[in-house]
Amino acid sequence: MPKRTLTSTSALNSGFSLISGLMPGAADERLDWRRDAACAEIPQQYVFTRDLAEAEQVLRACNQCPIRRECEAIVDPSHTWFDGVSGGRLWRNGREVKARKAPDSRKQAA
């Protein structure tokens, strides 16, 4: 089993810097995938939260994000024990946090 490591904001940024340093023309601003993210202007405390209620704003932004798939592929949440929102889903320790469904009011009325 591969060793899992915790991922933080700084780890993501330094990982991206390392990757871009290996690519020709890496200084080109177009390679900074984070710039195009729908969550780019949302405070990082909400992007890297473990709490579903705090993540709601970011999850809504993900619904219209042009780089949603790239985000999840680059962050690779299930292999990095990621905490936060990536690819339109909330992750805690690299596992997707499922939204709780509201009780069905039709069943309660019966």
For 32-81, write each residue's pLDDT tens digit.
777 889 999 999 999 999 999 999 999 999 999 999 999 999 999 999 99
Paired tokens of 41 = 């202007």
CB 26, CB 41: distance < 8 Å: no
H-run or E-run covering 19: helix 9-22
Separation of alpha carbons 77 and 65, rounded Å: 18
Paired tokens of 43 = 């405070």
Poorest-pLDDT segment among 1-5, 15-19, 31-35: 15-19
User: Could you tell me the CA-to-CA distances from 12 to 7, 43, 86, 109 in Å, in that order?
Assistant: 7, 16, 12, 49
Is the model's pTM score more than 0.75?
no
pLDDT at residue number 105: 54
